[in-house]
A and B are shown apart, each in its own frame.
Chain A
């Protein structure tokens, strides 16, 4: 087993910062449209919906979808 330092850091950091109130992908997805609209309105979505931001920081799939959705809606606005 040989892993890169960046991978090791990701594993250890994600564990040591684990919190009991993390939301899952379903709850994040349910709130994602509101989170994106808050961001598009120039407001601090992370402050308004901290658990969604926390999930996006931890989940690569959800983050990828958030960024794509934001890019789409920003361009269409």
Chain B
């Protein structure tokens, strides 16, 4: 691939050198994605080509937003990685319903919580149980239904932010803000009830 400055990339992608620049960029993205996905045996070469192709479309559409604060190829690879993970997360969670996932952890019929930390001392188990009771109470008292569902799906169910956002008809940034507001509300109450960062660390350190 010919070495290009950022300005040359932009000029080539917008001008008569477009076909060669697109081919070079596609090649760069595929090679990068191959390394980015090195620990994902489920990702095939065809997938990499598809991710790169989809990323190229986004990159061309977004050229005007490139501010030149990094190398052009770094910026482009960032977009390709986002495209690839968005698709992989969709596949990973395609058979899991958000409502089922939430219901699994968020039933109104709370059964007693069993904490089974084998490394915890008796004192730590008491602290952990007290924190569990506090968290359950504060989540139900302080959070909106939407905040509670998002927190349950992401932090307990382990679903990716991207997927939870898609299924809640929002986007990842807005979901982060929703959870940020939720965490701040919880913090306010936890602090008012005397809980500190040190208490949390002490309850779980082994």
Contacts and interface: CB of A to CB of B under 8 A. Distances in A.
B111 A11 contact: no
A11 B156 contact: yes
From A22, A26, A33, A60, residue with most partner B Cβ within 10 Å = A33
B172 A25 contact: yes
A45 B70 CA distance: 14
- A: interface residue count bin: 35 or more
Contacts of A1: 105-107, 110-111, 113, 136
B82 interface: yes
A60 B183 CA distance: 16
Contacts of A9: 200, 203-204
Interface string B171-206: 011001100100110110011000111001101100
A9 B114 CA distance: 14
Interface string A1-38: 11101011111111111101010111001001110110
B77 A69 contact: yes
Contact of B173 (A18, A24, A69): A24
B65 to A, nearest CB: 9
Main secondary structure of the interface of A (DSSP, over half): helix
B86 to A, nearest CB: 9
Nearest to B154: A60
Contacts of A76: 28, 31-32, 35
Contact of B85 (A7, A65, A71): A65
A18 B180 contact: yes
A46 interface: no
Interface of A: 1-3, 5, 7-18, 20, 22, 24-26, 29, 32-34, 36-37, 59-61, 64-65, 68-69, 71-76
7 contacts: A1-B107, A10-B155, A12-B131, A15-B190, A26-B172, A37-B74, A68-B36
